Amino acid sequence: MATDTDGKHGDERCCEDMARVFKALANPTRLAILRRALGDGMCVGDLHECLGRSQPNISQHLAVLRDRGLVEPQRDGNRVCYQLVDERIAELLAFAEELFGCGDITDHK
């Protein structure tokens, strides 16, 4: 995160980083994945089933979320499950749902 001592270039870097994250959040499938990764997380196969998308499609979206630092993989035997990297992401999603009247995120686990 940029600080006041970074000046104009630090502010631009911070804005670019935030734009990359918000661009990742601008996809409905990725938002649905994040909503389901709250709490204990979800495995790729579970996401595939509950979202009705192919496993390769889910994996591509997870790669974007992982690249942006939003989720992290956890091995569970042969399965790979994903959890939010930071619980503040859940707070951001809850705020967005409240702001846009989308309902409680806990309804979508």
Domain CATH number, residue 60: 1.10.10.10
Q: Domain tally for the chain?
A: 1
Report the candidate in 92, 75, 1 with the shortest Cα–Cα distance to residue 41: 75
With a cut of 90, say whether residue 1 has pLDDT above it: no
Average pLDDT along the chain: 87
Tens of pLDDT, residue by residue over 43-63, are 999 999 999 999 999 999 999
pLDDT category, 69, cuts 50, 70, 90?
very high
With a cut of 80, say whether residue 4 has pLDDT above it: no
Report the candidate in 17, 57, 78 with the shortest Cα–Cα distance to residue 47: 57
Q: State which residues form the domain around 25.
A: 4-108
Tens of pLDDT, residue by residue over 21-33, are 999 999 999 999 9
pTM: 0.81
3-class SS of residue 54: coil
